[in-house]
């Protein structure tokens, strides 16, 4: 019976697209009330909106999956939604500026959304005796700062300057998160504190 359940993976692209759509609408709505003289303020608010929506989505999906008696690692499927979110953003840029330079976003923009989502999933994982709320707050702060760092870098520097350091930083962060997820969801339950 368990195998016949619909995998949440199939729903994630739809959720990712909806997230992107809501983020766009919300950013547009908020921008009406923002002063035009402070572009940095608008950048920070946009980042806050995007990261908040992703965090809410990850927390909700973790909660629903727990109710469905699915292991917490299933929440990692939220990364499909993050990839869809990033792809929708990239497609928007490709349509607006049909240039091969848009492909560079795969190196510095797409990983940002994935990094924050994996961070949120790891933070939402309840360990016995752990303080989940603190972890979530720290994860949100890291994700917000990471996203801000790249967006401000892209604002001030030309794309060709930012792509190489950004892709190196993103690769390092993704590698670190990969081993962290391995430690948490693969061997963590068996070897916790024993090696």
CB 29, min distance to another protein, A: 27
The angle that helices 12-33 and 78-96 make with each other, rounded to 10 degrees, is: 60
Cβ proximity of 52 and 43 under 8 Å: no
Q: Is 74 a residue that touches another protein (CB under 8 A)?
A: yes
Smallest CA-to-CA distance from 125 within 171, 167, 48, 184 is with 184
Rank residues 40 and 101 by Cβ distance to another protein and give the closer one: 101
Q: Is 148 a residue that touches another protein (CB under 8 A)?
A: no
Query: What is the C-alpha to C-alpha distance for residues 14 and 51, in angstroms, rounded to an integer?
Result: 18
Map residue 32 onto helix, strand or coil: helix
Q: Is 31 a residue that touches another protein (CB under 8 A)?
A: no
Q: Which stretch binds another protein (CB under 8 A): 45-53, 103-111, 133-141, 157-165?
A: 103-111
Q: Residues 6 or more apart from 1 whose CB is under 8 A from it?
A: none
Q: Is 94 a residue that touches another protein (CB under 8 A)?
A: yes
If you search the block for the tokens 């520097």, which residue do you land on?
157
CB 54, min distance to another protein, A: 13
Positions that interact with another protein (CB under 8 A): 71, 73-74, 76-77, 79-80, 82-83, 86-87, 90-91, 94-95, 98, 102-103, 106, 110-111, 114, 118, 174, 177-179, 181-182, 185-187, 190-191, 193-195
């Amino acid at each position: 019976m368990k195998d016949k359940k619909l995998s949440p993976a199939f729903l994630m692209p739809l959720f990712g697209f909806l997230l992107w759509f809501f983020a766009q609408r919300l950013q547009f709505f908020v921008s009406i009330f923002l002063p035009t003289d402070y572009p940095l303020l608008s950048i920070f608010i946009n980042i806050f909106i995007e990261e908040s929506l992703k965090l809410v989505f990850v927390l909700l999906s973790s909660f629903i999956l727990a109710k469905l008696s699915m292991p917490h690692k299933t929440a990692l499927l939220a990364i499909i939604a993050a990839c869809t979110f990033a792809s929708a953003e990239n497609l928007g840029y490709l349509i607006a500026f049909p240039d091969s330079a848009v492909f560079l976003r795969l190196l510095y923009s797409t990983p940002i959304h994935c990094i924050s989502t994996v961070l949120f999933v790891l933070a939402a994982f309840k360990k016995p005796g752990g303080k989940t709320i603190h972890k979530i707050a720290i994860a949100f702060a890291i994700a917000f700062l990471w996203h801000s760092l790249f967006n401000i870098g892209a604002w001030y520097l030309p794309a060709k300057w930012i792509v190489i350091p950004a892709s190196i930083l993103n690769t390092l962060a993704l590698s670190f998160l990969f081993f962290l997820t391995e430690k948490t969801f693969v061997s963590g339950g068996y070897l916790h504190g024993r090696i």
